Amino acid sequence: MPRRPPRPAVPAVLVGVAVLALTACAPAAEEAAPDTPSPVSSSPTPSNIPTFSRAPTDVRLPADCKAMLSADVLAQLGTVPLNDPALGASGVQPDGSLICIWRDPGADTTGLTTTISRMNRGPALDMLNDLVSTQGFSCYTPDAGTRCEKTWINDTYPVNDGRTLYWRDDVLIDTQYSNLAPTGYTSSIISSIFG
């Protein structure tokens, strides 16, 4: 059997370069495996909205639209009609929530509607996060709760429309308004409920 001629020796430098080249092509340890999504918690804490983790207290919902407002806020509302039957359901509802409609039924746009109801933390924060991510609301944490708000120009009239929501201790205060935004309105309600 004929003998093969010996192979020429590969210089050690070339072996080192080849190993280095292969190492550079290999994924790093953190890139080697695809990212594994973290399991979703049954009670997620949304990252968009800062919140408090206090245990809810047994807070009574108000039963009177005027009694929960300060004298200054009532003076700003002046003679605007409250809860005219022509505008639909208002006052205390069967589930204990309260709807307050400050509006002249003959007005095209000027008025505000506030609904105060119970809402658990998870659904409330999901809703507020959705308003932040899909509608551009801004949120912050005054008075030991979470407040989200947004204003915009009315589609038909050159006036401001807006919505302000405040959640704390499983109580949601949700106010939508058009051309009627008394200074201190939401803060007055917060003080009345949680003060």
Alpha-carbon dihedral angle through residues 56, 60, 65, 66, given to the nearest 10 degrees: -110
Supply the pLDDT for residue 58: 82
pLDDT tens-digit profile of 143-173? Answer: 899 999 999 999 999 999 999 999 999 999 9
Q: Which amino acid is at 43?
A: S
Supply the pLDDT for residue 57: 59
pLDDT tens-digit profile of 82-94? Answer: 999 999 999 999 9
26 vs 147, residue with greater confidence: 147
- DSSP 8-state symbol, 68: T
Q: Which amino acid is at 109?
A: T
Give the angle subtended at the CA of 195 by the CAs of 71 and 139, to the nearest 5°.
95
The pLDDT confidence band at residue 108, using thresholds 50, 70 and 90, is very high
Q: Say which residues have a Cβ less than 8 Å from residue 49's Cβ, sequence separation at least 6.
A: 125, 128, 129, 132, 139, 146, 148
pLDDT tens-digit profile of 31-73? Answer: 333 333 323 233 334 445 555 444 555 899 999 999 999 999 9
Averaging pLDDT over each range in 8-22, 44-58, 116-130, which range is the top one?
Answer: 116-130
Nearest CA to 182 out of 83, 110, 109 is that of 110
State the Cα–Cα distance between residues 181 and 195, nearest whole angstrom.
Answer: 22
